[in-house]
Structure 1
Amino acid sequence: MTQGTVRRAGRRLSRSRELRNNGVVKNVGAARETPTGTPQEELATGERSTRNRVARSILDHGQSTVAELAGRLGLTQAAVRRHLDALVADGVVEARERRVYGARTRGRPAKVFTLTDCGRDAFDQSYDTLAMDALRWIAEREGGDEAVAAFARARIAAQSAAYRKAVEQAAPEQRTEALAKALSADGYAATARSAPTGEQLCQHHCPVAHVAEQFPQLCEAETEFFAELLGTHVQRLATIAHGDGVCTTFIPKTSTTKAPAATAPGTPKISDTTHNASASTAGRNPA
């Protein structure tokens, strides 16, 4: 889905998996033995498990000093510092000086460590539930499915300026590739590839897939926007929300493909013709 606020999605996903799953091993391959006979992969897994405990302790107890973390986790301060250094390097934790209230004592204030916004996002959040609750409220109070569809189109319109600019500046035969690059810059890992009678736009990541499972209007609005932007009918062949591995949109080669209509930045108008041509398969796998 097109969403300008997800530039760090790939980075957060990686940290999310690491923090939530203590058994993750990034380097998959033949286990290498340490001099003591312990597989290196087991040591790496243990390191990540302890690092996760350090981050979780900060989440549960708030900003913490090295001494406080060592006491809570039963680790040496040297071990805690080593894990904190790694978490800081990953952007999960940041160091601050502890605010002193009242008279300042001699010596430097103790350094405390706190989670960054990115680090906090690595733990379980309820954004999907919140979004679905909001869309249900819109459907119940503001006009049913059509109200949700109107919201989805308005959302796309508000986020479309960068995509429109990228496509308008590209040659006609390079517009799909230009759109894929713009989507990738927003964290959607999009690619464009040739097909026998056209091209396929593939999005390998969807940050709102769980919400789109319940509200396919999000996929439909995106498909409508792609059709308008590329100046031709497009067909959604598969979606992550439907259970497919990738969102795939087919763009046919036609001699009547037109350049996208000039529109004020940030306020594109999705035409009724585009809506009728594309919505029949948007958000669903026709197979």
Structure 2
Amino acid sequence: MKNVGETRETPAGAPQEEFATGERSTRNRVARSILDHGPSTVAELAGRLGLTQAAVRRHLDALVADNVVQPREQRVYGARTRGRPAKVFALTDCGRDAFDQSYDKLAMDALRWIAEHGGGDEAVVAFARARIAAQARAYRAAIEGAAPEERTEALAKALSADGYAAMARSAPPPHRGEQLCQHHCPVAHVAEQFPQLCEAETEVFSQLLGTHVQRLATIAHGDGVCTTFIPKAPPQDAGAPHTAGRAAPAPTAPKTSKTTHNASASTAGRNPA
């Protein structure tokens, strides 16, 4: 599980780092106990963890502030006794996500089953395209509301809203164009096994921006950032009509990139030997 919460105060004489580590460890134990045993009262947590109720309340306050747990009234089955029902603390969706989940394995198992029983690679490609097409509706609306020179930035903002931590920046000289950089990929582990997800995404970027785009790097194949090059149309030159409308050459990928800089929409996400 990821560490949850932060230290808010340090008792006198306790080294800051040592105290903070102990606080996080105990807080994780409190959250883990709720995960293992379900919604729990302060008294139940204190008994299971060997802590005082005051200490449990302090950790619960921090976990509530961090949206890891939430208080609720305890459900009573049968006849109610006198007095207010005891308050229990349950994990939020955010709190559950802080623990290791098997979503990646489930997704890979599902795609592998589709490939083996539902039509091979073509079925996986169809799934990948349908998945990104559903996301692309919001992206298209954002792009259509932006000026032509601001469309890459609009796409980056729309991607960030979906958790991709994206940004747009100018491509390094002498290349004419922009780079769309995604610093996070929610499906990187699955895309490592099924590059069709990256390929479908690249195709959609091309469709949304109305130009050929080139994938330079992907997190799924060991690069630090997913980087896509969006060329800028060259100026019209009456003396050289044969070059009009052609995409500008792609810049080379960052030095840390393992992905070929020549990747097109048909090979995006793959990591050639």
**Under a length normalisation based on structure 2, what TM-score does the superposition of the two structures give?**
0.83
Q: Look up the match of 2:185.
A: 206
Q: Distance in 2 between matches of 1:139 and 1:104?
A: 54
Q: Distance in 1 between matches of 2:126 and 2:6?
A: 44
Provide runs of 4+ in structure 1 moved above 6 Å.
none
String of CA shifts for 1:57-78, please: whole Å, max 9, x gaps: 1111111110110011110000
Residues 166 and 286 of structure 1: CA distance in aligned 2, closer, same or farther (over 3 Å): farther
Residues 207 and 244 of structure 1: CA distance in aligned 2, closer, same or farther (over 3 Å): same
Q: 1:141 aligns with which of 117, 130, 150?
A: 117
String of CA shifts for 1:87-111, please: whole Å, max 9, x gaps: 1111111111112222222211111
Shift of 1:39: 1.9
Shift of 1:171: 1.1
Residue pair 1:237, 1:281 contacting (<8 A) in 2 also? no
Question: Which sits farther off after the overlay, 99-108 or 240-249?
Answer: 99-108
Q: Distance in 2 between matches of 1:103 and 1:130?
A: 42
Residue pair 1:156, 1:222 contacting (<8 A) in 2 also? yes
> Greater relative contact order (Cα 8 A, min sep 6): structure 1 or 2?
1
The residue type equivalent to 2:96 in the other structure is R
Is 1:42–2:41 an aligned residue pair?
no
Q: Look up the match of 1:284.
A: 270
String of CA shifts for 1:127-148, please: whole Å, max 9, x gaps: 1111001101111112211211
Q: Look up the match of 1:220.
A: 199
Q: Look up the match of 1:231.
A: 210
String of CA shifts for 1:208-252, please: whole Å, max 9, x gaps: 000000000000000000011111111100000001010000011
Q: Distance in 2 between matches of 1:102 and 1:158?
A: 46
State the SS of the aligned residue for 1:99. Answer: coil
The residue type equivalent to 2:142 in the other structure is A
Residue pair 2:115, 2:124 contacting (<8 A) in 1 also? yes
Residue pair 1:25, 1:45 contacting (<8 A) in 2 also? no
Shift of 1:163: 0.3
The residue type equivalent to 1:279 in the other structure is A
State the SS of the aligned residue for 2:219. Answer: coil
Q: Distance in 2 between matches of 1:34 and 1:119?
A: 27
Residues 81 and 35 of structure 1: CA distance in aligned 2, closer, same or farther (over 3 Å): closer
Q: Which runs of structure 2 are paired with 1:121-270 in the superposition (5 Å)?
A: 121-195=97-171, 196=173, 197-255=176-234, 256=245
Q: Distance in 2 between matches of 1:100 and 1:149?
A: 50
String of CA shifts for 1:153-182, please: whole Å, max 9, x gaps: 011111211100111111111111110111
Q: Look up the match of 1:263.
A: none
The residue type equivalent to 2:2 in the other structure is R
Shift of 1:45: 1.0
The residue type equivalent to 1:194 in the other structure is S
The residue type equivalent to 1:75 in the other structure is L
Provide structure 2 residue ranges, at least 5 long, that are not aligned to the other structure: 235-244, 247-262
The residue type equivalent to 2:187 in the other structure is V
Residues 286 and 191 of structure 1: CA distance in aligned 2, closer, same or farther (over 3 Å): farther
The residue type equivalent to 2:3 in the other structure is E
**Under a length normalisation based on structure 1, what TM-score does the superposition of the two structures give?**
0.80
What percentage of residue pairs aligned between the two structures are identical?
A: 84
Shift of 1:123: 0.9
Q: Distance in 2 between matches of 1:161 and 1:285?
A: 29
Shift of 1:114: 1.0
Q: Distance in 2 between matches of 1:101 and 1:137?
A: 43
Q: Distance in 2 between matches of 1:86 and 1:25?
A: 8
Q: Distance in 2 between matches of 1:284 and 1:130?
A: 22
Shift of 1:284: 3.3
**Larger Rg belongs to:** 2
Residue pair 1:189, 1:205 contacting (<8 A) in 2 also? yes
